Amino acid sequence: MPSSEPSNAPASPITVSVVDDDPMICQAMSLILNDYSQGRISVVSTSHNGADAVARAREERPDVVLMDIAMPDGDGITATAGLRRLPAPPHVLILTSLSPKGTVERAAEAGAEGFVSKTDAPEEIISRIVSVCEGRPQYNPASQRQLLADLHAHRPMTRRDEARALLDALTERERQAVLLAAEGLTNQEIAARLFVSERTAKAHLSSASEKLSMSRVQLAQLVGRADLPSPLCR
């Protein structure tokens, strides 16, 4: 008998806890994740301070926690460290509209795996949650640049490390397209290697160029500095 379940809905949705001292933000995020994710995500709870968030996570064991930074009863960075010490630690994405100096580095050191902007489009927020569960850190270009600046203030990075960090700020498809372009492949050849249309391949390259504010030639130079092996595209 064929299953009656929708083919695009996972057997078990990703469970998410939203933490923000503003109840309106919690409500808005809950609506976005529950209503726009097509069953892929389920918000199991909301909290308004770090201590409550850690206590709830210990009981509920969510897959992902969206964590605000400035809250009463301990800031989000402290709460993130507490979450990561739990027996079944969730992924933590910092929920913010700004990346003040030092925040990105502190968040990463506490165990956060990326940032979600409160002003991101619903599909972008959902994509970051899904991606972090797949093991891909979610540092957008703005937070990536702030992280590099913070790290530079404490210790110098090699040009190779800088280049790799910037490439890691791209989506997987954007990164693959950039690596192939750096090998000298045309848009048509890139499309064939990635099994996408030429228009899609061009869009990936344009998006990468816009995110990093680099031309195609500069992207190729960036790949050269990163000193990566040739991409193995499936």
Residue 35 has a pLDDT of: 94
Residue 147 has a pLDDT of: 59
- Convert the pLDDT of each residue in 146-158 to its tens digit: 655 555 555 555 6
Q: Is the pLDDT of residue 61 over 70?
A: yes
Residue 107 has a pLDDT of: 81
> Confidence band (pLDDT; 50, 70, 90) for 5?
very low
Asked if residues 198 and 209 have their Cβ atoms less than 8 Å apart, the reply is no
Whether domain 157-226 has CATH 3.40.640.10: the reply is no
Rounded to two decimals, the pTM is 0.59
Q: What are phi and psi of 106, to 5 degrees?
A: -65, -40
> CA distances (Å), 224 to each of 141, 219, 228, in order?
20, 9, 8
> CA distances (Å), 55 to each of 18, 51, 58, 64, in order?
13, 6, 5, 14
Architecture in CATH of 14-138: 3-Layer(aba) Sandwich (3.40)
Phi-psi region for residue 114, left (φ > 0), alpha (ψ -120 to 50) or beta? left
Q: Is the pLDDT of residue 166 over 70?
A: yes
Q: Which of 57-66, 114-123, 183-192 has the lowest mean pLDDT?
A: 114-123
Question: Which residue is associated with the tokens 């030429």?
Answer: 198
SS3 content of the chain, % helix, strand, coil (to 5): 55, 10, 35
Domain residue ranges in the chain: 14-138, 157-226
